[in-house]
């Protein structure tokens, strides 16, 4: 059902500082930090040949990643995002398999402007998984 690993999202306290690791030490193309106030994050896109890393830094007092980062002050994996062809069909299949979808289960528009759902990490070996309609 799922397709490509769309991105690996890493929560960091300072996206500009973390981007220097990827740009200067690891030699990868990175974007400038981009503010996404409606999602409560700054994001830096790290472009790899086969996928992308997104370095996300809290933006604003109500950022959804602020508490997470408080628990992981150096930074940590926030979620993995996989592509699906039909988000509603994917959600239905998962729920039939007993995998819980966070929230009300209705897809929302994610940071890429596409419908997404998030799966309960308790059903996913501790990993927060995002599904995005590609």
Q: Which residues bind a second copy (CB under 8 A)?
A: 1-5, 8, 10, 12, 17-18, 21, 24-28, 48-51, 53, 55, 72, 74-77, 80, 82, 93-94, 97-99, 121-127
Q: Is 83 assigned a catalytic role?
A: no
Residue reference for tokens 């508490």? 67
* DSSP state, residue 38: G
Cα distance between residue 131 and residue 134, in whole Å: 9
Burial label for 26, CB within 10 Å (0-12, 13-18, 19+), is exposed
Q: Which residue, 75 or 110, is less far from a second copy as judged by CB?
A: 75
* DSSP state, residue 77: E
Q: How far is the CB of 117 from a second copy (least distance, A)?
A: 13
Q: Which residue, 81 or 111, is less far from a second copy as judged by CB?
A: 81
Residues recognised as catalytic: 130
């Amino acid at each position: 059902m799922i397709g490509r690993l769309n991105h690996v999202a890493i929560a960091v306290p300072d996206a500009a500082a973390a981007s220097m690791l990827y740009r200067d030490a690891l030699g990868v193309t990175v974007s400038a930090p981009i503010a996404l106030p409606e999602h409560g994050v700054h994001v830096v896109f790290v472009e790899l040949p086969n996928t992308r890393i997104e370095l996300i830094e809290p933006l604003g007092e109500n950022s959804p990643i602020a508490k997470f980062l408080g628990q992981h002050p150096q930074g940590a994996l926030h979620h993995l995002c996989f592509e699906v062809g039909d988000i509603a069909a994917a959600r239905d299949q998962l729920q039939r398999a007993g995998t819980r979808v966070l929230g009300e289960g209705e897809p929302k528009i994610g940071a890429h402007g596409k419908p997404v759902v998030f799966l309960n990490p308790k059903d996913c070996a501790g990993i927060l998984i995002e599904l995005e309609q590609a």
